[in-house]
Amino acid sequence: MTSLRGIFQGSSLRLPILPCAKGEDSLLAKMWAYSGLHLAPYNIFDFRVSRHRDGPDDFFRNSRCKVQGDCFSGNRSVVIHSAERLEFVACWGHARRKVVEATTYQPECDLLLGMIQALYDVETRAKELTWQDRQTLRMRESTLILNSIHKWLDSRPLREVLPKSDFAEALRYLRNHWQALNVYVRDGRIPIDNNSVEQLMKQVAMGRKAWLFVCSVAGGEQSAKMMTLVSSARRHDLDIGIYVKDVLDQLLAGSTDYHSLLPDVWKQTHPAAVRAYRVEERRDKAERKQLDAARRRLAARQNR
């Protein structure tokens, strides 16, 4: 892909997959995963030998979009050096994890986690809304919660916290990346976190146990292409075997109509290949989350 528009989420995982010459250690490479939203609803895997920022830097070289991920300095540097073509969006999942991992100052951690959970409860209610209505709901309710979190952070000076404690680290993370953590509220198309992309790395980790090595740079690149095809098909609830076979058959037959082979386009002409039970499972899970969120809201009102 040479030019990308819209919103992308990213994550990465180290891969010990390249045996070198005899007597040398194996080479550690990286598999990057990107998930496009709205304009590009595909999961894309990108194999890179380098573990530095040149992978995502090359991926987004000619792109103009929002990029969501954790606040790792390498991720942010790609955005900083993009001449404002890219806008960085921080992930509340990583911010919450910092607080969860804090073992000191437990009452404060519980209070902060409760406010972050309120943000997620808004997202549960907004999941089935249009992105415009989701944005309106966030501006009306999430903004108030964010203001409360920010006010609480201001009332908790770092000088009152052990500077090297895990709780101090969590507070610094929230304060240092506060602006990026607020971007999602102003755009209903952006998720509150990039957990869905973090889940993609499980596919790489499970595959790594099976492959162990791919033996060459070309092998790693081919693995990334096949994983992109399979993961994007799974994302659109397709029968992967039927989809992949048809795509490969058409390519081997000389077809150059690549647009028709995209999973979301192919899905429209092959309804029998859609796994309806996956849609039902997702709907049932969403309904359970909405019920849990409603119970928490009712409990909070009763405790006031």
Look at residue 5 and tell me whether its pLDDT is greater than 70: no
For residue 94, which of 195, 190, 187 has the smallest C-alpha distance?
195
Contacting residues for 67 by C-beta, under 8 A, at least 6 apart: 7, 8, 9, 10, 56, 60, 75, 78, 79, 86, 87, 88, 89
Q: What number is the average pLDDT over the span 289-302?
A: 76
Give the whole-angstrom CA distance, residue 46 versus residue 31. 6
Largest CA distance in the chain: 69
What's the confidence (pLDDT) of residue 91? 92
Q: What percent of the chain has pLDDT over 90?
A: 40
**By the 8 A CB rule, do 228 and 42 touch?**
yes
Q: What tokens were used for 232?
A: 């994007």
Q: Which amino acid is at 171?
A: L
Q: How far is CA 107 from the centre of its chain?
A: 30
Query: Using CA atoms, how far apart are residues 25 and 229, in angstroms rounded to an integer?
Result: 31
For 181-196, what is the mean pLDDT? 92
Query: What is the pLDDT at residue 247?
Result: 94
Domain boundaries, the chain: 5-90+195-211, 92-191
Question: H or E stretch including 169?
Answer: helix 166-176
pLDDT tens track for 73-123: 777 788 877 778 888 899 999 999 999 988 778 888 899 999 999 999 999
The reported pLDDT for the residue numbered 150 is 95
Q: In what order do the strands lie in the sheet with 27-37?
A: 43-48, 27-37, 5-18, 64-69, 86-90
Residue 262 has pLDDT above 70, yes or no: yes
Nearest to 228 by CA among 10, 62, 45: 45
CB 273 within 8 A of CB 243: yes
Contacts of 245 (CB under 8 A, 6+ apart): none
β-sheet bridge partners, residue 31: 13, 47
Q: Which of 45-49, 132-136, 177-181 has the lowest mean pLDDT?
A: 45-49
Backbone angles phi, psi at 14, to 5 degrees: -75, 145
**CB of 99 within 8 A of CB of 78?**
no
- CA angle at 123 for the pair 117 and 124, rounded to the nearest 5°: 90
What are the E-state strand segments in 131-281?
Answer: none
Looking at residue 271, its amino acid is P
Q: pLDDT averaged over the chain?
A: 84
Read off the pLDDT band of 243 (50, 70, 90).
Answer: very high
